[in-house]
Amino acid sequence: MLKYMTRRVRRLLLCSAILFFIVATPSILFYAWGYSFDWRNKKPVLTGAFYIQSNPEKAEVYLNNKFKEKETPAFIKRLVPKEYQVKITKQGFHP
């Protein structure tokens, strides 16, 4: 077990913590403000969300023909800006 850290080790730990903070803070703020990075276009984009409620409840939600949520009401987030095809289905009901 370490008895005492030398000044060099303390400085190294401090510099590492500061560097981590400088790198991590913008990434966390970027995500918290609702942005996502579009790797295809290599630029940040502001994301959005859908809140879907149906009557009757507990219907399945599909977004662009891909299953997204098992039951409504559903909150689908982190969606990039584009057109979406939304399909809500429930067995025994017509779409």
* pLDDT recorded at residue 18: 97
* DSSP secondary structure, 58-77, as one string: S-EEEETTEEEESSSSEEEE
Tell me if 52 sits within 8 A of 86, measured CB to CB: yes
| Range among 17-21, 44-48, 67-71, 78-82 with highest mean pLDDT value | 17-21
Tell me if 63 sits within 8 A of 85, measured CB to CB: yes
What's the whole-model pTM score? 0.61
Tell me if 74 sits within 8 A of 88, measured CB to CB: no
Please report, for the chain, the start and end positions of each structural domain, with discontinuous segments joined by +: 1-33, 34-95
* pLDDT recorded at residue 2: 60
1 has pLDDT over 70: no
Tell me if 61 sits within 8 A of 86, measured CB to CB: yes
What is the rounded average pLDDT of the residues 15-26?
A: 95
**Hey, what are 50's tokens?**
């859908």
95 has pLDDT over 70: no
Q: From 36, 41, 63, select the one nearest 51 (Cα to Cα).
A: 63
39 has pLDDT over 80: yes
CA distance 20 to 45: 24
